[in-house]
Copies of this chain bind each other. A is one copy, B any other.
Amino acid sequence: KDLRIYRALSFVSIVGSVYVLFNMYRLAMGERVLLPNSKLHYALKLHVLCMSAQLLRGKEIAAGIREGIKRTIDELRSKHPSFRPHLTIVQVGNEQDSNVYINMKKKAGAEIGIEVQHVKLGNTATEHEVVTELTALNTDPGVHGVILQLPLATSEKIDADNCTNSISPLKDVDGLTDDNAGKLSRGVMTGFTPCTPRGVMHLIKETGINLSGKTAVVLGRSKIVGAPMRDLLIAHDATVTTCHSRTQNLPQIVSAADVLVVAIRKPQMVKGDWLKPGSVVIDCGINSIPDSSKKSGYRLVGDVDFDSARETAGHITPVPGGVGPMTVAMLMQATLDAALRCQGASLASWSLRLLPLNLQKPVPSDLDIAKHQRAKGIELLAAEIGLLPSEVEAYGRDKAKISLSVLDRIKERPNGSYVLITAITPTPLGEGKSTTTIGLSQALGAGMRRNCIACIRQPSQGPTFGIKGGAAGGGYSQVIPMETFNLHLTGDIHAVTAANNLLAAAVDVRYFHESTQSDEALFERLTTDKQNAKRFSDSQVRRLVRLGIEERDPLLLTPEEKRKFSRLDIDKDRIIWHRVVDISDRFLRQMTVGESPTEKGHTRQTQMDISVASEIMAVLSLSKNLSDLKDKLGRMVVAYSTAGQPVTADDIGMRGAMAVLLKDALNPNLMQTMEGTPVLVHCGPFANIAHGNSSVLADLIALKLVGEQGFVVTEAGFGADIGMEKFCDIKCRYSGLSPDCVVMVASVRALKMHGGGPAVISGKPLDSVYKEENLPLVETGCSNLCKQIENAKLFGIPVVVCINRFSTDTDAELEIARDQAIKAGAFTAVVSNHWAEGSKGGKDLAEAVMQAVQQPRSFKFLYPLEMSIKDKIRMIATKIYGAADIEVSPEVQSIIDGLTRDGMDKLPVCMAKTHLSLSHDPSLKGAPCGFVVPIRDIRPSAGAGFLFPLLGPIMTMPGLPTRPAFIDIDLDSETGEIFGLF
């Protein structure tokens, strides 16, 4: 068939030769010759082949490349609608040539679906301004490529290299930073390559020449063309000579070149008779020379004398229409590459630099283990898990804040599997939930190499300096550095304390000012701003709205409206907002304030709580964004008016100020495990008067970051009857998430206690029964485990039972527990040894979890919100605790009536109950039944969004023992090393 065509074409070729000759000139100029049909076009090609050098028509080749880019983008966008490669071009001044180039780039981008943004700085821009602009673009997640258009046309002294080098190498699509240049010049092809040389390589490839061992000559040594061209040719195994203005015998050197690339900005300098016959000649020059035959008075020529060169060369690029269009196409390609890298990184599994464990037996102290593990830089970890630099604010070397903007960037990504760690009813010593959370995440992340993030609570400083010590996990399953974790971290709890106490001061002072001022004076002062203007603040306008007052000019309110507006009428005996400190300070459990004469006798009794008991901590942990945070803060009830109406934080005008104080605290904190896998530490609300889970935001971010094949492991406070129930009924309701699997932590020790073993008391030696085999105790105690498994199944979630191995446990004891668990409906039950062996010890658990999340599940809440307050409480008590019923006194009934009247009856309930029994009585172990749960009080956390019924005395301020932990805490004055934290 080809033969026939050839014969036909030969004929056409002869016939059409006049036409062909006529077109030759236009073709040489690189214009796309429009032939009447493709056969004629083909003929032309053949003709040219016989007569002289074949033209390397960059314009056409570039069009094909751009077409390919467009196809790729279109395909990706059909799957990921938000995928949009974005290039920003920064121009300084208004150079005319630059304007032309930039317009070409914008046009090319527009045609193929690449956003090209043009940032123009004035012609007096300083280096700082340029660098600031570029740095801002580096941190903008929507921008994939950044180029600085050269030259920089400014009257200021400016170092273009400094400016270029301030572009992130990952966005440097022009390949001009030192970092990318260094890679290329040393033969490492993973960085970005300057676009013109990259385009030239494409053209050379089109000729079919194999560069290996060929002689290549590059005329020019510029950063943009000559130098990288040389590097690329060497990397493709050519023997390369670099020539430049000082080179002698240029024609002679050129005459040896199989491939010649010219970029010297000298019009038509290279002559045809210099060339090696049949060589490939690439002309990167573009010069305008006078030409009176043109309307414009000039024409564009290259650095090569085209007419003479084409007689000798085998292939040659025309000017224009040769290299030029390739440069733009390659820039588009590089931008797409950058965007794909960004997208790809977001889908791939991570390549973490893991920290090897140096396992020792017997297992050393937690602090010893933690101190001997050197953490990696937190910015490295952040990059490893696909966070952009703009999304990470490092606070020193060990911890970083993650910006909520990441959620928007990766919102289309599917969530990973969501694993909740909970436990049977624990002994007062705890059975290792935190350790299991960290250990499982190490086993999944480091052992199984799956993307995995652990989401945990930030510990209060109270226990750190008091009785319990830190909460970073234990053994070879810890968060490091534990000092950072257990001390201030990034100041979130301090921010909660500050916001909480500012609100407390504001409530008291409002009450005080109302008590001591007339309506008129009060209104006058409330509405006079710092500039002595009469003006309602935004918060005051919201109050006017709530009061139904439409007037917005303070001077025009009626006296009655002024009174309504000014007087919150706080009942000082019903101020329910407490001050807090993040310290165990028992003397603040009850106190009287306002005793200074300056407060004119307005004393009142109140209490201080530990900071993590602040409703603000619960609000922070349940908020989904800044706007949600503000709403929740504003809704918090701080007191009741003398008329019994709730007074909110927004009534006090504190919503905005608290949000300002909490702005940074809303961002989760990134740390790492002993094995270098990521941990998000965020919020730590109390597990009784609040829900005791780490933040919704950390989970939302983590689930997107790990991606579809990944895992997020998080923990709920206390036993499953408390933490898990609240996790499902409260946290999941607000987050919209639901767990794929529950890991129920148990220990032989706790099972024995539930089986009737002697009391386990913190700080006292354990009874010997806990150190010797005792199968009947274990078997009896499994009643608690079985009930908690049943509880998890009530929510429709598969349960993996994890029995944490202690050195004194016997195989027979462990076997009974496994057996009973599976009989009770657990998906599976494994013995885990992550405490002693890190990821290695947690292998079985990780495998079990990986299987469990594949199981079918149908998550459901325990109760609908529409249920009455009493029914919700009864539902939890009977279904989860195993109670016969609840008992509601007339006083509590009237509280319920009040809450219902105030519209708070549609909130979920957050039971404040002892964690030491399934019942309300800490002495009842195992799985008690038949008991009736007394409801002593019900309080609202209207901001956080739940009611908390009190089922017994709940301590919101711990005390310090006679020898608190702080006694042994110190640091080395020389090295700063901390001792005694545990």
Contact = CB atoms under 8 A, between A and B. Distances in A.
B962 A502 contact: no
Interface string A750-775: 00000000000001010000000000
Nearest to A978: B660
Contacts of A246: 212-213, 237-239
A893 interface: no
A682 to B, nearest CB: 17
28 contacts: A126-B356, A128-B676, A185-B231, A187-B221, A238-B246, A239-B244, A239-B248, A239-B253, A241-B241, A494-B498, A501-B583, A504-B585, A505-B584, A506-B966, A512-B586, A526-B967, A529-B963, A537-B967, A538-B970, A539-B967, A588-B593, A590-B597, A592-B592, A653-B966, A654-B966, A656-B966, A659-B970, A660-B981
A247 to B, nearest CB: 4
A848 to B, nearest CB: 29
A227 B187 contact: yes
A428 B7 CA distance: 103
Nearest to A664: B488
Contact of A247 (B213, B396, B506, B976): B213
A962 B131 contact: no
Contacts of A964: 506, 509
Interface stretch (A57-65, A280-288, A342-350, A624-632): A624-632
A586 B607 contact: no
Given A234-B221, A960-B505, A980-B656, A589 B583 contact: no
A831 interface: no
Given A397-B393, A586-B596, A581 B353 contact: no
Contacts of A641: none
Closest 8 CB pairs of A and B: A656-B970, A182-B182, A185-B185, A178-B182, A181-B182, A589-B596, A657-B966, A627-B973
A961 interface: yes
Interface in A155-209: 161, 177-188, 191
A817 interface: no
A866 interface: no
A590 B657 CA distance: 26
Nearest to A604: B587
Contact of A376 (B128, B461, B630): B128
B242 A971 contact: no
Given A656-B970, A660-B969, 17 more contacts: A179-B182, A182-B185, A185-B185, A187-B227, A239-B244, A488-B495, A488-B498, A502-B966, A506-B964, A509-B586, A529-B963, A530-B968, A579-B585, A587-B594, A590-B595, A590-B597, A626-B971
Nearest to A965: B530
Contacts of A248: 213-215, 239
A13 to B, nearest CB: 38
Nearest to A135: B377
A546 interface: no
> Which one of A161, A221, A963 has the highest number of Cβ atoms from chain B below 10 Å of its Cβ?
A963
> Which one of A227, A505, A529, A582 has the highest number of Cβ atoms from chain B below 10 Å of its Cβ?
A505
B505 A585 contact: yes
Contacts of A776: none
A655 B982 CA distance: 18
B487 A961 contact: no
A522 interface: yes
Nearest to A129: B356
Contacts of A643: none
Contacts of A967: 526, 537, 539-540, 653, 657
Interface string A479-491: 0000100011011
Contacts of A508: 585-587
Given A128-B353, A185-B181, A660-B969, A590 B596 contact: yes
A591 B589 contact: no
A851 interface: no
Contacts of A213: 246-248
